[in-house]
Chains A and B, each alone.
Chain A
Amino acid sequence: KQEVTQIPAALSVPEGENLVLNCSFTDSAIYNLQWFRQDPGKGLTSLLLIQSSQREQTSGRLNASLDKSSGRSTLYIAASQPGDSATYLCAVRGQAGTALIFGKGTTLSVSS
């Protein structure tokens, strides 16, 4: 059964720092991997979608990489800002079905 783990569970950094969030998954048979942002009590906003055949995707200050064979993805945030404070969720879509399997998230706090 697919399991997704995100490390660290929480992270506090000063504004301007570059940072990396980690996501690992146990079954490499995936269609794609999606990174989401969730503000407290709010919905999920899709940040980046990486297909299984891709190595990385970029959007603005965000860059996500995927190493399917090792079951790892990273989300790189450049020049962090207080507005980046949120929980970041990683989810994989397996080849066996339609479900997204989520990690438990990394809660990021960026101080000014």
Chain B
Amino acid sequence: SYEVTQPLSVSVALGQTARITCGGNNIGRKNVHWYQQKPGQAPVLVIYRDSHRPSGIPERFSGSNSGNTATLTISRAQAGDEADYYCQVWDSRIVVFGGGTKLTVL
């Protein structure tokens, strides 16, 4: 079965750029979706199909996907961006989630 791997945690200084990776075999051939989950809340879609932002998501959130790594980039990080982030792909009509990355804004 297909697996995707995320770092357990990423730290970023306030106002700097955070990058969260999602690794998988030839993941660049798949569409990657990213979700933000704050404590006690449901996940929210922040990037879909590698690099598209849903309505209402700030331009500070961007995504890329190539080779074996997809990346969620958060520019000018704010305290409100502290959350868990999950990448997700479909593989043979099955959802595969990464294990999640806890983003800490220092």
A and B associate: no
Seen from chain A, the residues whose Cβ lies within 8 Å of a Cβ on chain B are none
